[in-house]
Amino acid sequence: MNTSIFIFAIIVLFIGLSFGSFVNVCIYRLPKKKQVLFGRSFCPKCKKKIKWFDNIPLISFLSLDGKCRACKKKISPQYFFVELVSGLSFLMIFLNYDNYYASFLLAILLLIYLVIFFIDLKHFIIPDVLNYGIIIVAFLKNFLPDLNLSFIQDIKLSLIGGIAGFFSIWIIIYLYKTFKKTEGMGMGDAKLMAGIGLLFGWQSIPFVLFLVGLAVYSIRFIFSCRSWTINGYAIFNGKKEKLKVTNPFWSIHYNRWCNLFLVWRCLI
């Protein structure tokens, strides 16, 4: 490795780690409907502002042994993990692709999907701003020069994919409501799938549905339960609310698998 590539890699890693910190801010603030661009970070437990030298990606977490300096309460390993994933992904993306359009597109998508993944994991929701972000980016990529990625870059095919994605979930929601009188999935899932359709075309929709179905049913088979109903509670705007979804197992894993699938597809 020559020196200039090494320096480039260090800079890319640092930028990736910093964006990882920003992703953590988004994961914490977006479900609380707080803005993410301004305001200093603070400890979620004792609310003390975090000093800049305790806010260095990865290093601060390690040097403080995963605890807040002020209240000594444990900080979730998620903070470390997200920064690491973001940093390494930036390295992979920017060292693998010569095409800067492709690199920036993948980096933006990766960050949004990381935020979605962790918010969904904790709160069972996908904030609209994230889904719309993906939809806009996925639409705009049609106007970029040839990216040489597995994305569809034809406006017509991309739009057909987006519509197919949205309605594939909309139909499931409708059928669930009609026959089971419950909400199987939310509109967030439909928007998420619209984003996938816009990126990869309609062909990806049956594949994702199949993959997700396979995952759900094999997990059910392994744990030999017909349905895995968690009477889940989630915190919205600081207050505890019962989830509307009566069988969140399906919808939650649906989202997560979609996200994982996409992140994986993006990076390969």
Q: What's the rounded Cα separation, in Å, for the pair 133 and 114?
A: 13
45 binds Zn ion (CB under 5 A): yes
Q: Which stretch binds Zn ion (CB under 5 A): 66-74, 99-107, 161-169, 235-243?
A: 66-74
Q: Is 263 in the site for Zn ion (CB under 5 A)?
A: no
Nearest CA to 127 out of 234, 52, 21, 20 is that of 234
43 is a site residue for Zn ion (CB under 5 A)? yes
Contact 90, 19 (CB under 8 A): yes
The span from the CA of 104 to the CA of 145, in Å, is 13
3-state helix, strand, coil in the chain (%, to 5): 65, 5, 30
Give least dist CB 176 to Zn ion, A: 42
Between 66 and 232, name the residue whose CB sits nearer to Zn ion.
66
Find out whether 154 and 139 touch, Cβ atoms under 8 Å: no
Stretch that binds Zn ion, among 7-15, 41-49, 171-179, 252-260 (CB under 5 A): 41-49
Which region, judged by CB under 5 A, interacts with Zn ion, from 10-18, 71-79, 133-141, 204-212? 71-79
Rounded CA separation 207/204 (Å) = 5
Burial (CB count <10 Å: 0-12, 13-18, 19+), residue 32? exposed
Q: Which of 7, 46, 214, 225 binds Zn ion (CB under 5 A)?
A: 46
Q: Least distance in Å: CB of 73 to Zn ion?
A: 5
State yes or no: residue 64 binds Zn ion (CB under 5 A): no
For the segment 194-253, give every residue that binds Zn ion (CB under 5 A).
none
- Of 64, 71, 175, 214, the one binding Zn ion (CB under 5 A) is 71
Q: Is 70 in the site for Zn ion (CB under 5 A)?
A: yes
Positions that interact with Zn ion (CB under 5 A): 43, 45-46, 68, 70-71
